Amino acid sequence: MIRKHGWLALFIVAFGLTACTNSADPSAPVKARLLYEGLEPITSVDSLRVSIYAVAMDGSDAQQLTRSPFIDAHPSWSLDGKQICFTRQERDGQFDIWMMNADGSGQRKVTNSSGQSMVPCFSKDGNWIYYCSDADGNYELYKIRTDGSLRTQLTFTDAPIENVGPKIAPDGSTLAYASNRDRPTQTPRTKFLYLLDLATGTSTCIASNIDNAESRSWSPDGTRIVFHNNIDSVGQICVIDLATKTITQLTQAAYNPNPFRPGGVFPVMRGEVTPHWTPDGQRIIFASDRAGGYKLCSIKPDGSDAKLFPTQSIYNMSPNLQPLP
């Protein structure tokens, strides 16, 4: 069952993100920094550079942490807020998992396999990185030590099945990910939402009849997951309650006849995408095309109080907020 917040749709349609206000109080102490990827189209809609940025929650002290000639994407904080893992495209087109310190220093490569490795996240103890890779012929989930050792496969399926985008639960026991394993031959390859129990290796589908290929994020208490759901070819932000399996649609983005076609690791996109639940549980940050390009916006978990977040570049995605001390 999917519920929709109609009153939120009226608010957004009537005013759009141009009516959103800055979400931060300038007088409040800065406790965390927001990571995001900034996309810079070069010569065409399918040619771009992507770098990783960090900014204080009031929009100040913006820093470009990477300066890639190609693509640096999918940034994710370690639980202690001291390390960042991310996806980097090499000059030969290869994608691998990299790490760096919180200030962008100490950039180092973690994976070095023959396939494309991407969308990383840290384990709860910070000693492992979970990610997806097609090194064995189709996209599976893996883990690897932060020093690049002990690469371990976690899911075992066959092409054309794809298992992508792992996100670790707050208690460190479970990965949320997307997979087409229940409908591998369907075109297009829409994906359901799954949970992988790391102790048993068992995968369970928790949301079907959705298209969650791109992104998902746990609530801090581990009871809900927010995800990007393509509905009628438009990205919408939805939340699933894990106890009841009820899905609530929080946004009502309109169909954009001119979608963003970034290329690279990014699919064609319309609407609201790449949601991230803030560590304090108070807001959900995501990317939206309502104000032109892709801007970062945030809402409360009930879908209310939409606010635009100040960023430098035109196309911004994959927000990830530094854990609170």
304-314 pLDDT, tens per residue?
Answer: 999 998 787 78
Residue 270 main-chain phi, psi, to 5 deg:
-135, 150
Residue 196: which CATH number? 2.120.10.30
Question: Is 82 or 190 the better-scoring residue by pLDDT?
Answer: 82
C-alpha distances (whole Å) from 9 to each of 57, 139, 250, 274, 321 are 26, 36, 9, 19, 26
C-alpha distances (whole Å) from 258 to each of 234, 254, 265 are 12, 12, 19
Q: What is the pTM of this model?
A: 0.89
Residue 13 main-chain phi, psi, to 5 deg:
-65, -40
Tokens of 26: 């300038």
Give the domain extent around 213.
2-321
Indicate the pLDDT class of residue 168, thresholds 50, 70 and 90.
very high
pLDDT in tens, 214-257: 799 999 999 999 999 999 999 999 999 999 999 999 999 999 88
Query: Domain count of the chain?
Result: 1
